[in-house]
Amino acid sequence: MKNCNLIIAGVGGQGVILAGNVIGEAAMSSGYDIKKTDTIGMAQRGGNVISHLRIAQKIYSPIIVEGEADIVMSFEKMEAARCSNFLKSDGIVILNNRAIPPLSVSRGVEHYPTDEEIISILKQKADKIYFVEGTKKAEELGNARTLNIFMLGCLSCFLDIEDSVWRECIIKSLPSRIVGVNIAAFEQGIEAIKI
Amino acid sequence: MSVNKKLLSGNEAIALGAYHAGIKIAAAYPGTPSTEILENLSQFKDIYAEWSTNEKVAMEVGVGASYAGARTLVAMKHVGLNVAADPFMAVAITGVNAGLVVVTADDPGALSSQNEQDNRHFAKLAKIPMLEPSDSQEAYEMMITAFDISEQFDTPVLFRTTTRVSHSKAVVELGDKKETPGVKGVFKHNFQKYIMLPANARFRRPLVEERVKNLASYSETSSFNRIFKGDDKLGIISSGMAYQYAREVFPGASFLKLGFTYPMPENLIRKFALKVKKLVVIEELDPFIEEYVRSLCIEVTGKEFISIIGELTQDIIKKGSYSIGILAENEVKKTEYTAPKLPGRLPLLCPGCPHTGTFYTLSNLGQRSVLPGEKPREPKLIITGDIGCYTLGALPPLSAIDTCGCMGASIGNAIGMQKAGVDEKLIAVIGDSTFLHSGITGLIDAVYNKAKITLIILDNKTTAMTGHQEHPGTGKTAQGEETVAVSLESIVRAIGVKNIQLVSAWDIKALKNSVKTSIDSGELSVIIVSGACAVDLRRGVDPGIIDVNKCTACGLCLALGCPAIQKDGDMIIIDGSLCVGDNCRLCRQICPNKAISPDGARQSERISEEL
Ligand SMILES: Cc1ncc(C[n+]2csc(CCOP(=O)(O)OP(=O)(O)O)c2C)c(N)n1
């Protein structure tokens, strides 16, 4: 695999950290060096979360420098825009079509960016933007919390990690009673990109 | 033989390293970024792991265990070592019996702390050895070595990590667990070693200096202090996470990587300095290494181009390096890209937080909240605060905390202000874990010195801020055993407080009455507000819904600062996926138009904790 610098963004409670851990396990099982670090605000819940993942033969720093991310994958629309600074000029964005307005927006103090605004911010840097309906699909599966594994399905289309390794790592990371629905979400994620 | 590899955070690696080194005892008080160390250790059922009441107690438990022959780990965040400094300095003199390792997890950039401090100075202050890992692999290996050093040199070892090391995951190659036969703890009486009467302390004093000398020679040969040969034009001395960043910025340079950073290896540093044309130190926070190198009369630079403040990044190193001419201009990113301005996500009390009602009450009585279209009023009351989730009560729209310095300070601060003669009524606000950690002595002072203040103890039955650890008031130990739940009320009563009120966190009227009668009583009073932390309450309840026919959009409910109550154009709505419904009901109590009721029709999908 070529080296990959991956940013995962989202809001506390969306499962960003777990998703990053599964990717880390999958990359390690595939023989790569991997370092991962999360930046989480002081907020217990509802703050933004950014995970940095670096996959290569040998890694020193876990942090991705601005302009060095191959992929930004965001579980929330505006958070993708917030991470645009990390993108390489030929970077890829995978974006869950879901808005979670912060309090300043729901209080009517600030304005939540429109889809056009978000796309225009990302277009300054990104080569390709994939809009996916992760939350919708997860809800249709009957468990909104499978969003993170759906997003892993999307991501798996861009990384050189065997399908069987992904599945193994997902199964290892989740309680057995919810493995089935999460595997279904993973498969839907793959489909969302392949279509 | 296949290698056993695991993806571990620094804290997981620290815990596993200690376990593999054969520890029998671990003691800690929670605090970001150190908390996961004891959380991980508490999973091992063949060792004893405790959440101590505070860091000082954790240190004392650790010292006792070490004296009795058990390898012991003590862990805390950087400011925890301030609290534990007294027993820490004491054990530095007595030395140990079985290995004792003290982890200090520093927080450069104060990402989740009240301050930034470089605890490497503590090693020098206490004259004890220090190890500084730069990733999870080193954290694991150094921890095992740390116990050997501790026993070989009869000294506690300071193990210094930072947020970025503790919380980053990396691949770790694991060794085997050291087999520790289940020997019983034994204390060997030793008058001169363990009893620091002045005469004995003076006797041990030269031994400490001797120890530093021996450790300095050990430092010269430690495998954690290593030269990586590169181009001799530039030599970089670095430690901790800064080393990882520097390696990326200067892939071709020569490096002296220090992992055993006190005492420092003088000869190794001299040797390295002679080999390179220009010598720089790249380190996070204080010029700890740089000042030592300079004290050897070696020409060196460091803080001249690397900020002394905050967490380092590769970008900071690059820009600084360019400014002193050791990095070419084309290596430094031009920032032609300006980041978009987007609405931020401020930290907030959660929907259904039991602290909300108290701060709403204080905000009203203290004239802090401002309704839409109204002007701010002159604030009333002085509300001294403490550290925990409830510190967020300082933020708008509640704005009902006036001071916050360190754990336990609220009570003493209020006493001081009252004695200084302020006119305003004084209220101190403190959480249950914080009260047990370091509030009790303050309250004793208030009783003893006849302070006329009101103390509000916010009893949410957990240590919420750091991720819901047990504490002496919860009735459960770190390893999940049932135990006595220390009663806050009994403590307050036993100290001698006469005016005590017990109030539910969900009853706005009772909260208001209790605060009013307490501050008007003119005597020392304590209110214990009880209500369980909302994070466990999110499922299976009917969220509130606002009746559009009754709501006049007056905005009073917005003054609660509840994230579930939101503005949608001119209307106010409740986000059913966030509201905890019947577990809270605060907004229903304050709505003047009785427009809010439970939405029986909806069993909504909830955003809840991470898996
Ligand atoms: C000396 C010290 N140790 C630990 C911490 C980390 N810390 C901050 S608040 C807190 C405890 C908060 O618990 P509690 O008082 O019960 O309030 P809650 O968060 O539950 O509202 C801890 C452990 C600190 N800031 N200072």
pLDDT in tens, B108-163: 999 999 999 999 999 999 999 999 999 999 999 999 999 999 999 999 999 999 99
Could you say which DSSP state residue B555 is in?
-
Q: How far apart are CA A161 and CA A29, in angstroms?
A: 9
Residue B345: its pLDDT value, please?
Answer: 86
Note the pTM of the prediction, 2 decimals. 0.96
- Quick one: average pLDDT of A158-180? 96
With beta carbons less than 8 A apart as the criterion, state whether B172 and B136 touch: yes
pLDDT confidence band for A125 (50 / 70 / 90): confident
Size of the A and B interface in Cβ pairs below 8 Å: 152
With beta carbons less than 8 A apart as the criterion, state whether B426 and B385 touch: no
Q: Find tokens 């605890």 and name the residue.
A: B119
Q: How far apart are CA B349 and CA B358, in angstroms?
A: 12
Q: Cβ contacts of residue B161 below 8 Å, gap of 6+? A: B10, B11, B14, B33, B34, B103, B104, B105, B106, B132, B133, B139, B240
Mean per-residue pLDDT over chain A, rounded: 92
**Closest chain A C-alpha to B548 CA, distance in angstroms:** 17
The 3-state DSSP class for residue B83 equals helix
Could you say which DSSP state residue B560 is in?
G
Least CB–CB distance from A102: residue in B5, B164, B345: B345
- Quick one: average pLDDT of B188-201? 97
Q: At what angle do helices B508-520 and B356-365 cross, to 10 degrees?
A: 50
Which ligand 1 atom sits nearest the alpha carbon of residue B355? 21
Q: Cβ contacts of residue A82 below 8 Å, gap of 6+? A: A9, A48, B339, B340, B342
Question: Tokens standing for B37?
Answer: 């160390």
Least CB–CB distance from B168: residue in A35, A65, A113: A35
Lowest model confidence (mean pLDDT) among B246-260, B359-373, B453-467, B481-495: B359-373
Ligand 1 contacts CB of residue B519 (under 6 A): no
Ligand 1 contacts CB of residue B436 (under 6 A): no
Strands (E), chain A: 4-11, 33-40, 48-56, 69-74, 87-96, 126-132
Lowest model confidence (mean pLDDT) among B37-41, B418-422, B596-600: B596-600
pLDDT in tens, A32-83: 999 999 987 654 556 889 999 999 999 999 999 999 999 999 999 999 999 9
> With contacts defined as CB-CB under 8 Å, which chain B residues touch A43?
345-348
Question: What is the percent of chain B where pLDDT is above 70?
Answer: 95
Q: Express the helix, strand and coil content of chain B in percent, nearest 5 each.
A: 35, 20, 45
Domains B226-331 and B545-610 share a fold: no
Ligand 1 contacts CB of residue B349 (under 6 A): no
Q: How far apart are CA A146 and CA A167, in angstroms?
A: 14
> With contacts defined as CB-CB under 8 Å, which chain A residues touch B240?
none
Picking from B458, B439, B442, B469, the residue whose alpha carbon sits closest to that of residue B390 is B458
Which architecture characterizes domain B545-610 according to CATH? 2-Layer Sandwich (3.30)
In the predicted model, is pLDDT for residue B609 greater than 80?
no
pLDDT in tens, B487-524: 999 999 999 999 999 999 999 999 999 999 999 999 99
Could you say which DSSP state residue B476 is in?
B
**Closest chain A C-alpha to B447 CA, distance in angstroms:** 35
Q: How far apart are CA B599 and CA B236, in angstroms?
A: 64
Indicate yes or no: CB of B248 within 8 angstroms of CB of A66. Answer: no
By C-alpha distance, the chain A residue nearest B318 is A65
Residues in chain A: 195
Strands B260-262 and B130-131 turn out to be: antiparallel
pLDDT in tens, B475-497: 999 999 999 999 999 999 999 99
Please give the C-alpha separations between residue B414 and each of B406, B417, B493, B611, in angstroms, as whole numbers.
14, 5, 20, 41
Residue B131: its pLDDT value, please?
Answer: 98
> With contacts defined as CB-CB under 8 Å, which chain A residues touch B344?
102, 104
Identify the bridge partners of residue B171 per DSSP, sorted by sequence position. Answer: B7
Mutate to test the pocket of ligand 1, among B54, B434, B474 (most ligand atoms within 8 A of CB): B434
pLDDT confidence band for B541 (50 / 70 / 90): low
Extents of the domains making up chain B:
4-221, 226-331, 356-536, 545-610
Give CATH superfamily name and number for B4-221. Thiamin diphosphate (ThDP)-binding fold, Pyr/PP domains (3.40.50.970)
Q: With left for phi above 0 and alpha for psi between -120 and 50, is residue A178 left, alpha or beta?
A: alpha
**Closest chain B C-alpha to A18 CA, distance in angstroms:** 7
> With contacts defined as CB-CB under 8 Å, which chain B residues touch A62?
135, 164, 168-170, 244
Least CB–CB distance from B610: residue in A17, A42, A124: A17
The 3-state DSSP class for residue B337 equals coil
pLDDT confidence band for B336 (50 / 70 / 90): low
pLDDT in tens, A19-31: 999 999 999 999 9
With beta carbons less than 8 A apart as the criterion, state whether B324 and B304 touch: yes
Indicate yes or no: CB of A44 within 8 angstroms of CB of B558. Answer: no
Residue B603: its pLDDT value, please?
Answer: 40
Least CB–CB distance from A103: residue in B135, B339, B346: B346
In the predicted model, is pLDDT for residue B536 greater than 80?
no
Ligand 1 contacts CB of residue B488 (under 6 A): no
> What is the interface pTM, i.e. ipTM, of the complex?
0.95
Q: How far apart are CA B462 and CA B409, in angstroms?
A: 20
Q: Is B277 exposed, middle or buried (0-12, 13-18, 19+ CB in 10 A)?
A: exposed
Indicate yes or no: CB of B568 within 8 angstroms of CB of A104. Answer: no
The 3-state DSSP class for residue A31 equals coil
Q: How far apart are CA B204 and CA B114, in angstroms?
A: 36
In the predicted model, is pLDDT for residue B1 greater than 50?
no
Q: Cβ contacts of residue B87 below 8 Å, gap of 6+? A: B56, B59, B60, B63
> With contacts defined as CB-CB under 8 Å, which chain A residues touch B333?
65-67
Query: Going by CA atoms, what residue is nearest to atom 1 of ligand 1?
Result: B80
Least CB–CB distance from A105: residue in B241, B315, B343: B343
Indicate yes or no: CB of A107 within 8 angstroms of CB of B566. Answer: yes
**Closest chain B C-alpha to A119 CA, distance in angstroms:** 12
Indicate yes or no: CB of B343 within 8 angstroms of CB of A139. Answer: no
Q: Find tokens 């919708």 and name the residue.
A: A136
pLDDT in tens, B456-480: 999 999 999 999 999 999 999 999 9
Query: Going by CA atoms, what residue is nearest to atom 13 of ligand 1?
Result: B463
Alpha carbon B397 to chain centroid distance? Answer: 26
- Quick one: average pLDDT of B307-326? 96
Could you say which DSSP state residue B450 is in?
T
With beta carbons less than 8 A apart as the criterion, state whether A4 and A55 touch: yes
Strands (E), B201-321: 226-228, 231-239, 253-258, 260-262, 278-282
> With contacts defined as CB-CB under 8 Å, which chain A residues touch B314?
61, 63, 65
Domains annotated on chain A, with CATH: 4-194 (3.40.920.10)
Which ligand 1 atom sits nearest the alpha carbon of residue B83? 1
Picking from B171, B174, B165, B177, the residue whose alpha carbon sits closest to that of residue B36 is B165
Lowest model confidence (mean pLDDT) among B8-17, B307-316, B571-580, B596-605: B596-605
Locate all alpha helices (DSSP H) within B106-236, ordered by sequence: 120-126, 136-152, 163-167, 191-194, 198-221
Of the CA atoms within 13 Å of residue B611, those in its CB half-sphere come to 26
Residue B370: its pLDDT value, please?
Answer: 78
Residue B537: its pLDDT value, please?
Answer: 62
How far from each other are the two terminal CA atoms of chain B, in whole angstroms? 34
Indicate yes or no: CB of B346 within 8 angstroms of CB of A104. Answer: yes
Alpha carbon B405 to chain centroid distance? Answer: 13
In the predicted model, is pLDDT for residue B538 greater than 70?
no
With beta carbons less than 8 A apart as the criterion, state whether B47 and B18 touch: no
Question: What is the percent of chain A where pLDDT is above 70?
Answer: 96
Domain B226-331 indexed as CATH 3.40.50.920: yes
Q: How far apart are CA B109 and CA B311, in angstroms?
A: 5
Strands B169-174 and B130-131 turn out to be: unpaired
Ligand 1 contacts CB of residue B434 (under 6 A): yes
- Quick one: average pLDDT of B380-393? 96
Q: Cβ contacts of residue B279 below 8 Å, gap of 6+? A: B235, B237, B272, B273, B293, B298, B299, B300, B301
Mean per-residue pLDDT over chain B, rounded: 94
In the predicted model, is pLDDT for residue B610 greater than 60?
no
With beta carbons less than 8 A apart as the criterion, state whether B430 and B403 touch: no
**Closest chain A C-alpha to B9 CA, distance in angstroms:** 9
Q: Which helix (H) or strand (E) holds A80?
A: helix A77-82
The more confidently predicted of residues B63 and A124 is: B63
> With contacts defined as CB-CB under 8 Å, which chain A residues touch B347?
41-44, 47
Ligand 1 contacts CB of residue B31 (under 6 A): yes
Q: With left for phi above 0 and alpha for psi between -120 and 50, is residue B385 left, alpha or beta?
A: beta
Residue A27: its pLDDT value, please?
Answer: 96
Torsion of CA B506, B510, B514, B515, to 10 degrees: 60
Q: Cβ contacts of residue B98 below 8 Å, gap of 6+? A: B65, B66, B68, B69, B70, B71, B72, B151
Ligand 1 contacts CB of residue B33 (under 6 A): no
Ligand 1 contacts CB of residue B518 (under 6 A): no
Distance from Cα B103 to the centre of ligand 1, integer Å: 18
Could you say which DSSP state residue B463 is in?
B
In the predicted model, is pLDDT for residue A135 greater than 80?
yes
> With contacts defined as CB-CB under 8 Å, which chain B residues touch A113?
340, 342
- Provide the CATH topology of domain B356-536: Rossmann fold (3.40.50)
pLDDT in tens, B27-57: 999 999 999 999 999 999 999 999 999 999 9
With beta carbons less than 8 A apart as the criterion, state whether B41 and B424 touch: no
pLDDT confidence band for B563 (50 / 70 / 90): confident
